[in-house]
Amino acid sequence: MPSVDLDPDVARERLEATGVEIEPGNTDHEHWRASRGQANAVAYDDTVVVQGANPTALLTLLRSEEGGRAHVYFDGASRGNPGPAAIGWVLVTDEGIVDEGGARIDETTNNRAEYAALIRALEAATGYGFDEVDVRGDSELIVRQVRGEYDTNNPELRARRVRVRELLDRFDRWTIEHVPREVNDRADSLANEALDDA
């Protein structure tokens, strides 16, 4: 089990600042307990022990006072275009996957689903306090629109592009690149799993 040598009060402040709920400890030796996703943390006198299927989700918040860099992967899927749609996203640091998810969204087009996935991924990266993001997606259209290389004539896509740029402007540094689907396979799988589970 990974642990972080950290004052429990400082650790608590870091977690609460990102919206993680703190609960009382289960024994006299535990200061508090917290969970996020599939990770759990228990604070002792000078150490916070993290366990669970995805400990990186909490370790990232505990180890850095602020900032850091994440690779952000996103993918949207629509069956019918428009039709049933879902999104997938993955946040990765040098330590591994920090956060990932997939969710069903309203019926929509593939391009709108791609933007919805990108927005959700950037909101997640903001929630973790990263100050640099390298964004990767397999939709060349969305990547080029966000970069300003392609115009966005559709009013709904234009509004989504504006939202993406607002989110990106919160970071000190960002990049966005088109990657082949096989590089984006985890986000793609999460979006398709969300569609299949409906």
Q: Which residue has the higher pLDDT, 63 or 174?
A: 174
CA distance 164 to 120: 10
What residues does each domain of the chain span?
Answer: 3-63, 69-196
Where does residue 143 rank: exposed (0-12), middle (13-18), buried (19+ CB within 10 A)? buried
Question: In terms of CATH, what superfamily is 69-196?
Answer: Ribonuclease H-like superfamily/Ribonuclease H (3.30.420.10)
CATH architecture of 3-63: 2-Layer Sandwich (3.30)
Q: Which residues are within 8 A (CB) of 79 and not within 5 positions of it... i.e. 6 or more apart? A: 85, 195
> What is the distance between the alpha carbons of residues 158 and 181, in angstroms, rounded to a whole number?
24
- Give me the mean pLDDT over the 117-142 stretch: 94
**pLDDT at residue 189 greater than cutoff 90:** yes
Torsion of Cα atoms, 189 then 19 then 64 then 52, to 10° = -50
% of the chain surpassing 70 pLDDT: 97
Residues 6+ apart with CB under 8 A from 13: none
Residue 65 above 60 pLDDT? no
Using one digit for the tens of pLDDT, what is the confidence trace for 99-118? Answer: 899 999 999 999 999 999 99
Torsion of CA 72, 123, 143, 66, to 10 degrees: -50
**For residue 83, is pLDDT > 90?**
yes
- CA–CA separation, 121 vs 91, rounded Å? 7
Domains 3-63 and 69-196 agree in fold: no
The pLDDT mean for the chain works out to 91
pLDDT for 10-64, tens place per residue?
Answer: 999 988 888 889 999 999 899 999 998 888 999 999 899 998 887 878 887 887 6
In this prediction, residue 66 carries a pLDDT of 61
Whether the bond into 82 is cis, omega within 30 of 0:
yes
Site of tokens 């089990």: 1
- What is the Cα 90 distance to its own chain's centre? 6
Contacts of residue 54, defined as CB under 8 A and 6 or more positions apart, other chains included, come to: 37, 38, 39, 97
What Å distances lie between residue 111 and 81, 90, 145, 151, CA to CA? 9, 18, 11, 14
Element (H, E) at 78: strand 69-78
Residue 84 token pair: 């049933």
